[in-house]
Structure 1
Amino acid sequence: MTNFDRGNKKWTSLMLPEHLTMLKEWKKEQNYIKRTELDEYQLEDFQMIMSQALTTHEPVLITTWNNGEFFTTEGLLQDVDPYHDECLLQSSLVNKRIQLSAICDIRLCDDFL
């Protein structure tokens, strides 16, 4: 005779909705990643890579941080607007505006591979 365990199903009747929301919040806090602070040398490197990508039309790989998560986007850098704190990146599907303050890392795709 085998014993079939129902997993979490047997405990859901004992859990209140407040408990479920608290568990979801706790899980979100556990997965939260803090943003790394950039020093002036890294910012200078980012500026050099951006200017090189603009002049040579090489594809770049940009890593951004938003609400505890990192996102990576690849494409051609079309324009950098420091007054509006954004850059325009043309990917294969759409043109995307990225805030310069959200950028954590930028690399030329040739350097990345």
Structure 2
Amino acid sequence: MKVIRDRGNIKWNAMMLPEHVKLLREWQERNEDVEKPELDEWALQELSEQLQIACRDHMQVELKIWEAAHIFTATGIISKLDDIKRMLYLEDGRRFPFQFIVGLTKYE
């Protein structure tokens, strides 16, 4: 029997124009985008209460933040909740707008 040794994807690389490669990479990045989770009234109320408790008790928290079509986590201790500017401040100087906070986990 004769074994066929195919070059796989290597043979297609020479046919790909740089514009095609760029468009494929952009498409893959957009494909990984996450829509902002919409929280209902009950979930927003629960999140607000949990934030206030964590701030009052100086608890370590892990926040889920939606920004630029991605969700990431930020860990720290809440130093201030500013209702006028609608911002949350962590003790290490980071700050996040309330509208981008989509989840909270408290560590005791």
5+ long unaligned stretches in structure 1: none
For residue 98 of structure 1, the aligned residue among 96, 99, 104 is 96
Q: Using the alignment, how far apart are the partners of 1:38 and 1:60 within structure 2?
A: 19
Q: How does 1:52-71 map to 2 (within 5 A)?
A: 52-71=53-72
Q: Using the alignment, how far apart are the partners of 1:56 and 1:33 within structure 2?
A: 32
More helix by share: 1
Percent of paired sites with the same residue:
28
Report SS of the residue matched to 1:78. Answer: strand
> What TM-score, normalized to structure 1?
0.81
Larger Rg: 2
Report SS of the residue matched to 1:77. Answer: strand
Q: Using the alignment, how far apart are the partners of 2:82 and 2:106 within structure 1?
A: 19
Displacement over 4 Å in runs of 4+:
1-7
The two structures, once aligned, show a CA RMSD in angstroms of 1.9
**Aligned amino acid, residue 106 of structure 2:** L
**Aligned amino acid, residue 40 of structure 1:** E
5+ long unaligned stretches in structure 2: none
**Aligned amino acid, residue 14 of structure 1:** M
Q: How does 1:7-86 map to 2 (within 5 A)?
A: 7-86=8-87
Task: List per-residue Cα deviations over 1:35-90 (Å, max 9, x = no partner).
Answer: 11011111111111111112111111100011221111111000011222211112
> What TM-score, normalized to structure 2?
0.85
Report SS of the residue matched to 2:14. Answer: helix
Deviation at 1:29, TM superposition (A): 2.3
